[in-house]
Amino acid sequence: MYPLLFTFLASFMTAEEAGRYPPPLFPEGLYLGNFRTALELAPIPRFLWNSFVMAGAVTLGQLVTCSMAAYAFAFVRFRGKAALFAAFLSTMMIPWEVTIIPNYLTIKTLGWMDSYPGLIVPFLASAFGVFLLRQFFLQLPKELFEAARIDGCGHARAFFRLVLPLGRPALATLAVYTFLNQWNSYLWPLLVTNREEMRTVQIGVTMLQWEEMMSWNLVLAGVSMVLLPSLLLLAFGLKQLVRGITAGAVKG
Amino acid sequence: METSQSAWGAKARPQTAAGAARSGGRAVRWKEELAAYAFLAPSALLFAAFVFYPMAQSMYLSLHVTDPQGRIAQFVGLDNFASLFASPLFYSGLRVTGQFILYTVPTTILIGLMLAMLTHRALPGMRWFRFVFSLPVAISVGTAAVIWLLLFHPSVGMLNYFLGELGVAPIFWLSDPKWAMISVSILTVWMNLGFVYIVLLGGLNGIADDIFDSLSVDGAGPLRKYGQVVLPLLSPSLFFITIVSVIGSFQAFGQFHILTKGGPMNQTNVIVYQIYQDAFVNFRFGTGSAQALVLFAILLVLTIVQFVFVEKKVHYQ
């Protein structure tokens, strides 16, 4: 807990206060200049925007692809279902180290370096998401679907009218989980972005540190700005997040 | 295997107008299959492009030498693997990775367990504690590492200041070969605590309340209560979190990249960092892929261990 407190408190200190040794624990007043200087030093709003676009697009995309796949696995009969489901789940066991080099080369060949597609597209599908949603869909009352089918309701309509509205809690869980993961991702954005205006916050905040090692009140002001969105999300989405994590834990 | 029999299943379903339904049944079945594939197509294509194809490509690359653009230059067979297993750096990487796991996993789980046990009963104000202890989940490696970089700073960092107050000589947290791994581990424990805490708290909440109540009525002391009754019931969560933490530590990258860059003297040069350097700093994609595959093999063994043991050894309620 202390490191966080330290971060937020120090980001309000003036340069003079921060330069004192031993550093004071509390700032003497709410000094906002650090934020302004940090904003001038690095294009933090731009970083935030990039992260937001990336995490938002991946989240939306995963909600679409995962809910569709989960619907098929939960409600549609077709040949090869078990095998396909196993293939989907097996992707969870392949670690990113194995796929990252070829994926990097793919993105490079496609000319997607330093672009939003390069940041977003490789993460649009998620086996974890499919699994999570399928489990939830299977718990929905079966009679509802029988009734809908007798009424001549096709899969497309059942999907949009029944499953998506009823699946909202699970979808919210997946959304919070995915957004936070993407917001915090480090290695992939590091690899596929080079130009400063395409960097995400996680990379940006470390750049701040290289430029301004000594005036750490500035660095911490930057860090605070980066942390704020994720903490807000946590405050509102903790319940969903916990549900997602424990769903992963009990799957056994 | 209900799915492989679905062709028969469809026929076996009660049909009233048998003749009409049979030909209609086939059309319906076709429509079902089409619908299924339509629903699955986006995920399946993405997996094919960004998981299965790269998996195969990794194996292909590991048998070749590439130019810096990643184009194949020459087929070298198993040479990449041979040189890997002959390289002292690779073994030191394995050793350092093992050390990192040993430092981080037991510590995180122990602290997480303690916090979860202290906060799982519904007392007023507990929600705040739970929120605070869950906080680190929201913090990324990038930001966490930057914060700790400042705390670890040898001359202006807060840690050395506190040590100084206690009369301890300053420690060169990140540049002393003896301390670097410990420092990175401290940060990692702090960072992973939130996740571990949430999982264990979920596990504790899954244990029925009446068990706790009956224990209290029995007058069992906290040691007996937790040691002999709750821990065995918690073992599925504990086992899960252990495996996940080990795999997570194996794959840790950001904190090494930001804090130590593998140094000093390769003391923190874990396998994943070596892969990164090989592939993305030196542009040797072939050897990088070979290392990644070796790592994959290790992780696969761990996952299999999880699946085998989770069924046998672990107590389910």
Would you call A241 and B35 a contact, using CB atoms and an 8 Å cutoff?
no
In terms of Cα–Cα distance, which of B211, B220, B242, B210 is closest to B314? B242
Residue B221 pLDDT grade (very low, low, confident, very high; cuts 50, 70, 90): low
Q: pLDDT value at position B313?
A: 53
Q: pLDDT value at position B308?
A: 77
Q: What is the pLDDT of residues A72-122, one digit of tens each?
A: 999 888 888 999 998 888 888 788 888 888 899 899 889 898 889 989 999
Q: What is the pLDDT of residues B59-96, one digit of tens each?
A: 888 898 888 777 777 888 888 898 888 888 899 989 99
Would you call B39 and A6 a contact, using CB atoms and an 8 Å cutoff?
no
The pLDDT of B276-292, averaged and rounded, is 88
The two structure tokens encoding residue B68: 């810096």
> Which residues 150-179 on chain B approach chain A with CB closer than 8 angstroms?
150-151, 153, 156, 158, 161, 164
Q: pLDDT value at position A32?
A: 59
In this prediction the ipTM stands at 0.81
Residue A245 distance to chain B (closest CA, Å)? 7
Q: pLDDT value at position B39?
A: 92
Cα dist from B15 to A165, B12, B22, B162, B243, whole Å:
32, 8, 8, 80, 50
**B230 touching A (Cβ < 8 Å):** no
Q: What is the pLDDT of residues B137-183, one digit of tens each?
A: 888 888 888 888 878 877 767 777 777 777 777 777 787 888 889 99
CA angle B41, B47, B49 (to 5 degrees): 100
> Which residues 203-222 on chain A approach chain B with CB closer than 8 angstroms?
203, 205-206, 208-209, 214, 216, 219-220
Higher pLDDT, A210 or B309: B309
Question: In chain B, what residues touch A68 (CB-CB under 8 Å)?
Answer: 39-40, 42-43
Contacts of B178 by beta carbon, 8 Å cutoff, 6+ apart: none
Identify the H or E element spanning B75.
Answer: strand B72-75
Least confident residue range of A42-46, A105-109, A180-184, B217-221: B217-221
Q: Please, what is the average pLDDT of chain A? A: 80
B71 → chain A, closest CA residue: A105
Identify the H or E element spanning B74.
Answer: strand B72-75
Q: pLDDT value at position A55?
A: 93
Q: What is the pLDDT of residues B94-106, one digit of tens each?
A: 999 999 999 999 9
Q: pLDDT value at position B99?
A: 92
The two structure tokens encoding residue B62: 């590991």
Q: How far is CA A35 from the centre of its chain?
A: 25
Q: Provide φ and ψ at B316, rounded to 5°.
A: -105, 145
Least confident residue range of A69-83, A138-152, B92-106, B279-293: A138-152
Scanning A158-215, the segments in alpha helix (DSSP H) are 164-166, 168-183, 187-192, 201-211
Would you call A102 and B57 a contact, using CB atoms and an 8 Å cutoff?
yes
- Give yes or no for residue A218 having a pLDDT over 60: yes
Q: Provide φ and ψ at A12, rounded to 5°.
A: -100, 0
Residue A122 distance to chain B (closest CA, Å)? 6
Nearest to B292 among A82, A101, A130 (CB): A101
Contacts of B94 by beta carbon, 8 Å cutoff, 6+ apart: B271
Q: pLDDT value at position A10?
A: 60
The pLDDT of B265-277, averaged and rounded, is 86
Q: Provide the β-strand partners of residue B75.
A: B64
Burial class (CB in 10 A: 0-12, 13-18, 19+), A141: exposed
Q: pLDDT value at position B7?
A: 36
Residue B219 distance to chain A (closest CA, Å)? 31
Q: pLDDT value at position A251?
A: 44
Question: In chain B, what residues touch A89 (CB-CB under 8 Å)?
Answer: none
Percent of chain A with pLDDT over 90: 16
**A171 within 8 A of A63, measured Cβ to Cβ:** yes
**Other beta carbons within 10 Å of B111:** 17
**A190 touching B (Cβ < 8 Å):** yes
- Give yes or no for residue B8 having a pLDDT over 60: no
Q: pLDDT value at position A9?
A: 60
**A15 within 8 A of A217, measured Cβ to Cβ:** yes
Q: What is the pLDDT of residues A172-214, one digit of tens each?
A: 889 988 998 888 888 898 888 888 788 888 888 777 666 555 5
- Give yes or no for residue B43 having a pLDDT over 70: yes
Cα dist from B55 to A233, B62, B276, whole Å:
34, 11, 17
Question: Half-sphere exposure of B304 toward its Cβ, with a 13 Å CA cutoff?
Answer: 6
Q: What is the pLDDT of residues A13-31, one digit of tens each?
A: 555 555 555 555 555 555 6
Q: pLDDT value at position B42?
A: 92
Rg of chain A (C-alpha set): 22
Would you call B54 and A106 a contact, using CB atoms and an 8 Å cutoff?
yes
Nearest to A231 among B43, B55, B138 (CB): B138
The pLDDT of B259-263, averaged and rounded, is 81
